Chains A and B, each alone.
Chain A
């Protein structure tokens, strides 16, 4: 089983819909992250959490929210999806060495 699991792997939704992307990890790491990746723009940080009670906005948090339900679970919500949120989304975890480990990604299309 993967150490960092994202669900769903693919999602097509319509403009204005609320959607949730889920992430769970078995690595025992305290730190979790949500990134999006767009062609030519690299990875951009949406939100990060250093423990269950510590959640921080990243570079591009507008239009997104997160919930850290437990040490192992970190979900990302799009309250009202828009087409420019079409992207590849990655959940990741890290230990205190700053090495980051990624899930397989969720490919989201907003029509």
Chain B
């Protein structure tokens, strides 16, 4: 069974610091990787996608992919209270997305 693992948290980070979220996956054949943000009671929102090894930056967000080690991470620079949410990692495997259970991030002012 294909799996995506995330630490459930909560991860508490001071405002202005870097938040680092990690995700590991089991399917070595996966080619597409995504990070979603979900505020409490709301739907998940796509924030980053990454398809090749290395880093991909978009504003304050950086996604990192290491296929050899089967992990993908999300860095949030200059964390803001509005970044407090649950972050879901999703990995494309066998025609569908496999979802992690999410990491709850709390940014403390």
| B86 nearest CB across to chain A (Å) | 9
Count the A-B residue pairs with Cβ separation under 8 angstroms: how many?
42
| B11 nearest CB across to chain A (Å) | 16
Decide: B96 and A48 in contact? CB cutoff 8 A. Answer: yes
B42 proximity list for chain A (CB < 8 A): 104-105
A105 to B90, CA, bound (A): 19
A28-68 contacts to B, CB under 8 A, are 40-45, 48, 50, 58
Sort chain B's interface into a size bin: 10 to 19
Residues of A within 8 A of B (CB-CB), count: 19
Most A Cβ at <10 Å: residue of B8, B45, B96, B102 = B96
| A27 nearest CB across to chain B (Å) | 13
Q: Which residue of B lies closest to A45 (CB)?
A: B96
Decide: A90 and B43 in contact? CB cutoff 8 A. Answer: yes
> Interface code A73-111, partner B: CB below 8 Å = 1, 0 otherwise?
000000000000000001000000111111111000000
B101 proximity list for chain A (CB < 8 A): 40-42
Decide: B100 and A98 in contact? CB cutoff 8 A. Answer: no
Most B Cβ at <10 Å: residue of A40, A58, A99, A103 = A99
Cross-interface CB contact of B43 among A44, A98, A105, cutoff 8 Å: A105
A98 to B95, CA, bound (A): 9
Closest 7 CB pairs of A and B: A42-B101, A102-B43, A43-B99, A98-B32, A98-B92, A42-B99, A105-B43
Chain A residues with CB under 8 Å of chain B are 40-45, 48, 50, 58, 90, 97-105
Jot down 5 A-B pairs with beta carbons below 8 A, ordered by A: A42-B101, A43-B88, A43-B99, A98-B32, A99-B34
